[in-house]
Chain A
Amino acid sequence: MLVPWRGGWNPRSKSPGQALEEERHVRANDRDYNERFSYADNRIKTAKYNVFTFLPINLFEQFQRFANAYFLVLLILQLIPEISSLSWFTTIVPLVLVLAITAVKDFYRTLSVSSLCCLQADLLLLSSSEPYGLCYIETAELDGETNLKVRQALTVTSDLGDDVAKLADFSGEVICEPPNNKLDKFTGTLCWKDNKYSLDNEKMLLRGCVLRNTEWCFGLVIFAGTSLQFSSMKYDEIFLVFFQIFGFLICMGIILAIGNTIWEQKVGSDFWEYLQWKELTINAVFSGFLTFWSYIIILNTVVPISLYVSVEVLRLGHSYFINWDRRMYYSRKDTPAEARTTTLNEELGQVEFIFSDKTGTLTQNIMVFNKCSINGKTYGTLEHFLLYIHTDKWKTPCVDFSFNPLMDRKFRFHDSSLVEAIKLEEPLVQEFFRLLALCHTIMPEERNEGELVYQAQSPDEGALVTAARNFGFVFRSRTPETITLYEMGQAVTYQLLAILDFNNVRKRMSVIVRNPKGQLKLYSKGADTILFDRLDPSNEELMFTTSEHLNEFAGEGLRTLALAYKDLDEDVFDEWMKKLLFASTALDNREEKLGALYEEIEQRMLLLGATAIEDKLQEGVPETIACLTLANIKIWVLTGDKLETAMNIGYSCNMTAKEKIMGPSKDKFSSGLDMEKTELYSSDSVFEETIIAEYALIINGHSLVKSSILVDVACLCKTVICCRVTPLQKALVVELIKRHKRAVTLAIGDGANDVSMIKTAHIGVGISGQEGMQAVLASDYSFAQFRYLQRLLLVHGRWSYHRMCNFLCYFFYKNFAFTLVHFWYGFLCGFSAQTVYDQWFITLFNIVYTSLPVLAMGLFDQVSLQYSLRFPNLYRPGQLNQLFNKRKFFTCTLQGVCTSFILFFIPYGAFMTAVRDDGAHISDQQAFAVTIATSLVIVVSVQIGLDTNYWTAVNHFFIWGSLAVYFAILFAMHSDGIFTIFPNQFPFIGKNINGYIGSL
């Protein structure tokens, strides 16, 4: 399923027939040795075909598809003379057409080769361009975390450097675990020169990682192979219908075969004198068996090949309409909407659940330093947060930063009192910005003097450091041991002694620096809840004021961080440093030991204040969400952010009613964890908002376990926000809903961490126009702005759904009306599989006479555009699948069956005794066939006329044109007008209108 499989990447290697691989041996530069194990290799074929193999391979692959194979079998059946009831061309003409179209499509796809963006195999890091064999990687594709991670090679191997000759001589042998799906653990040993070195995850570069800040590295490939697709179960609704019809077909075949067996025994045996196929007819059962296949051939037109072609064409057309839509084109980034798959358009009209990423999807991922609280005093505009979003205007004038030559011109701040404070050199304010300038992992780039660009892993950090920069604490450069700031124009260099990393558990980050005066300082920033627990008791009062401010900020939808510092004693630090060095070389449990050490020193800190960063919403997000909610679509926000931020976004997006949620949430979140835990689930933390009028459920990532209760509770709520979810959990949530609700799900996201979710949901939407392309590449649809989702679903989705449903209904109606005439005729022709129509009519009916009008309807039909947007409720029928479900399918096939019945038996009654006005009998097969065929073409044309709501010129042209072509071909084939067209078409049309109006 969704779990990225490390190593072999191919679950088949663990198939039961094969002995399990218990450990893996890889010897460097020894191909012969390695090949003994037949591990998967990582040869990448950029193209599946070449010019010569294209045709056979493509054909082979196409015939592996069920439908195509089915038609091939039909074709083969037709070549057996005893069975063949139709000429071979009736099947081969459409089949060749389908194969050709698909082949052209595949060929076109072959030409576009995907680019390689990341590591293609799991490597053991040997050496790199950085000192000590360090190597920086980003693992966003694997776990969605965008911060840099460090990997370090073994010292023995890092000495190899980039000396190719030495590397080529490297002959270490790695013995390690077989491929598995654990991303964070690896155990193995490297044997080289009679020494053994233990290997762990810190020395591995996993497939999918992206190298950052590292020029090169050498590695030993441990696991390679073809990648396991994040296979999504995107099924084809039409396929299910296909199977039903297939069953129906077999039933009819069996009925007719039994009929034939009986007829052969009772009647047919008397007929031997005239037929003399004794070798077959002597055995009535065998004759029945042959008849079965003959009827399968004749009746297969209930699911004609042209259906597949037509559906493909329709879907392609609908996709193009999406691509062409100007209202989903984002001019600022020159990004039109793009339908990347064609098969899901109609499901866009049935979406019930939307799973949305937050960052970059609902928000612009532009962080703006908006407010801060320093030593119990808030700075920043006090205007209501929501006001900014809607008006995008600031009431107060911007602060003038001209005193600072290194400022970032794009930065805006709206409270000049903070600048005053800086200018007055208030020590705590200075300390506050110093902390912001020191405590981070940003890499600066100074292209020209004074033109600083920050390479930030997270935009939050960027915003904070930029703020510090503008307030006169400019982070200028960094070496592994030092950080240089320009404090109010003065260059100050700090010695960087230790970086206490950020991670998801610690939720904080600290640096220990020695300032030029020789003082040791620890600066820490992190989540308020975490930091507040580690403050000096003397800080309590400040903590309460700050915490009030923090709640205020959070209530306005801002992202908050608390800042604290600590002065360190020389002795304490020295001792701690020793322990740190020791722990960092530990072979096992290194992570935990380090964590404990960090914990030890990050105690009794002094609170400085808090920052509030605004996460700017994208345009029109609240309106879109409101509209989609009206359309009864449930919107779930899945975010990696912390609870408070997630809730804030809930408020600002109109997802949760502000007044209602604010009150209880405050109390609950401080104490709610334990209470709710015991109340609802015994093991996991669940936060639940129960407000009488509206429910909003906010869940922690950990509680997203396959619990169906969760689904029930969540579905009662109007809004669900899942916070602190990892990319895999995002996919799990989607999977959960897919499994329990059988509803169409849509996932929308922009980043690599949304890929799994996008691939799991029925429909994946990627926000394009951003830097990363992974989400777009994994998605089915992409556009630049979240608000286009409204148009995609309510207009394109609804239309596609209506069109496809009308198309299918009509198509099945038409083909049942067309085909079942043979069934009725079976009762009169001794079940001998004699066709009613002549063969050319059968061949042309679906591809010439009736295909274009229904295609035109499927492409151009519209259900009122204004109503679609004004009354989102109209989306409901799609969600309930009211337009094409089993009942509807049954109705239209029944209509088709009735039509065929009338079409057959009225001419039958009329022809029983009919003669032409010159006396010649016309109860012959040909005249009968032509009459029925003509009636049929007229009746289905009238029906399509009634089904079409929106008559464009194209519809007129196709409908009238098809009729004209039919009569032209008819008269061409029967040049003298061998019959007078009976006026008996009129009753059928009348009856049809009956049936149609009746079914309204």
Chain B
Amino acid sequence: MGKKQAGTGPLSRRPDNSAFKQQRLPAWSPSLTPQTVLPTFYILSLVCLLLGIWLLITVEYTYELKVDYTDAGTCEQCFNLRKHAIDSSTPCKCTVSFHVPKTFPRVSFQHDVVRLSARCLPQGDVFFYYGLRNFHQNLRRYMDSRDDAQMVGRKNNLKAPSSYCAPFDYDANGKPIAPCGAVANSMFNDSLTVMYNPTDGSKIQVPLYRKGIAWYTDKNVKFRNPPTNNTFSLQQAFEGTTRPLYWQRPVYELDDIDSNNNGFINDDLIVWMREAAFPNFKKLYGVLNRAQGPFTEGLPAGNYTLSINYNFPVEPFRGRKELVISMVTWFGGQNYFLPIAYLVTSGLILVTAVVLTTVFVKVGKKGKNMEE
């Protein structure tokens, strides 16, 4: 271990007198004294309290509505029909009606504080989600069962899906599946239509933006179609592949309205492919189009009917399906957890601070040996 220096002479092996080697580097030694620690505690407590209150007010302002349509209304027969994922050939439609008690996102401001914090909120945007319960998108082997290389449109991977996709990589005839894997195979394929029933008896379809619901990077970086041009259509690009087992239509025909929304860059597919972290989750279905009609201010209160193309089976895994209508603030959707967490933390810190102060006042000032 010894450091042998080349020089000779009487003191040739003397260690250098550098601050580093002699462990005398200049340093700042903070010492935690009651004078510094206690104020920190009180300040932290206060900060958390204020944050908590602010978030709580914000959350109070937002609200969301859930419509479970698994077997509600006329959907019961569809529910029974779809006992197995594989029985997807026969179409099944059903409707569920629900009531929106308050206009989204208008609320009456009772307090100045609320009004103040609401002023900086985006006005009027209403989001429609589909929610699934007890669907484990977070199983390891399920999550792995996808081929990102195929999804960015690499030609080689398109025809030769990754082995991670097995057994959803090739169909019974040995044709490669695009998109391969269990994730894509189990894509949510109900289509939802919401009708507004004003008191005058008319029916107005709630207009939804069904595009632009995916993350920018997903839409533009992570998911690409195989190269096409004017003469070489998307369908041709996907030639030689087959659709996933449970799908009714191939990937290049997912959106029959907008042909640019087909293939791997289909918004619904992208949203689905972003796997949820928990077994109960919701995924964005559409955003309210406030261009016209009664919807310019948001979603008016009143009665609505939800009509569903019921395809996605949930019975096998005892799951539920629901439509979630929500408004969003700067801080996200309706979520009481975070403000409460802040308030609890604030309380805990305060209690600790008070206890420490008591200890300090009673013991600390007398004993000089606090360093120990």
Contact = CB atoms under 8 A, between A and B. Distances in A.
Given A910-B338, A919-B328, A997-B356, A926 B274 contact: yes
B143 A911 contact: no
Interface in B341-355: 341-342, 345, 348-349, 352
B26 A952 contact: yes
What class of interface size applies to chain B in its complex with A? Answer: 35 or more
B41 to A, nearest CB: 8
Nearest to B183: A274
Given A911-B278, A920-B284, A923-B276, A834 B331 contact: no
A271 interface: yes
Contact of B25 (A912, A953, A990, A997): A953
A916 interface: yes
B51 A983 contact: yes
Contacts of A334: 10-14
Interface stretch (A211-219, A233-241, A971-979): A971-979
Interface in B1-19: 1-3, 10-17
Interface string A852-878: 000000001010000000000000000
B30 A834 contact: no
Interface stretch (B68-76, B89-97, B254-262, B313-321): B313-321
Contacts of A338: 1-2
A600 interface: no
A919 B287 contact: yes
Interface in B152-166: 163
Contact of B14 (A274, A326, A954, A955): A326
A329 interface: yes
A342 interface: yes
B37 interface: yes
B127 A277 contact: no
Interface string A335-372: 11011111000000000000000000000000000000
Given A334-B12, A915-B333, A925 B1 contact: no
B206 interface: no
B349 A994 contact: yes
A267 interface: yes
Interface stretch (A61-69, A317-325, A469-477, A842-850): A317-325
Contacts of B217: 974-976, 978
B1 A323 contact: yes
A610 B139 CA distance: 92
A772 interface: no
A961 interface: no
Interface in A632-670: none
Interface string B109-140: 00000000000001001010100001011111
A921 B352 contact: no
Interface stretch (A133-141, A570-578, A825-833): A825-833
A952 B23 CA distance: 10
B283 A921 contact: yes
A695 interface: no
B348 A324 contact: no
Contacts of A834: 138-140, 143
Nearest to A338: B2
B13 A335 contact: yes
Given A274-B182, A923-B276, A340 B23 contact: no
B335 interface: yes
Contacts, number: 252
A990 B40 CA distance: 10
- Which of B23, B217, B326 has most chain A Cβ within 10 Å? B23
A990 B277 contact: no
A925 B143 contact: yes
A987 B316 CA distance: 40
B27 interface: yes
Contact of B332 (A916, A951, A990, A994): A916
A327 to B, nearest CB: 8
Interface in A968-999: 974-976, 978, 983-984, 986-987, 990-991, 993-994, 997-998
Contacts of A917: 122, 328-332
B40 A993 contact: yes
A339 B349 CA distance: 47
Nearest to A274: B186
A642 B248 CA distance: 101
A924 B316 contact: no
Contacts of A928: 277
A919 B51 contact: no
B15 A325 contact: yes
A914 interface: yes
B1 A340 contact: yes
A276 interface: yes
A987 B332 contact: no
Contacts of B44: 990, 993
Contacts of B28: 950-951
Interface string A191-219: 00000000000000000000000000000
A437 B213 CA distance: 108
Interface in B196-225: 213-217, 221
Interface string B43-71: 01001100100000000000010000000
A806 B64 CA distance: 49
A986 B141 contact: no
Interface in A896-949: 906, 908-929, 949
A1000 interface: yes
Contacts of A275: 139, 141-142, 145, 182
A324 B16 contact: yes
Contacts of B47: 986
Contacts of B32: 997, 1000
Nearest to A925: B277
Contacts of B48: 986-987, 990
Interface of A: 81, 85, 267-268, 270-277, 294, 319-321, 323-326, 329, 331, 334-336, 338-342, 828-830, 832-835, 860, 862, 906, 908-929, 949-955, 974-976, 978, 983-984, 986-987, 990-991, 993-994, 997-998, 1000
11 contacts: A271-B139, A828-B278, A832-B138, A913-B334, A916-B328, A920-B271, A924-B277, A986-B48, A990-B44, A994-B349, A1000-B32
Question: Top 4 closest A-B pairs, CB basis?
Answer: A909-B337, A324-B21, A834-B140, A928-B277
Given A917-B329, A987-B342, 7 more contacts: A273-B84, A325-B22, A326-B17, A336-B13, A860-B25, A986-B47, A993-B40
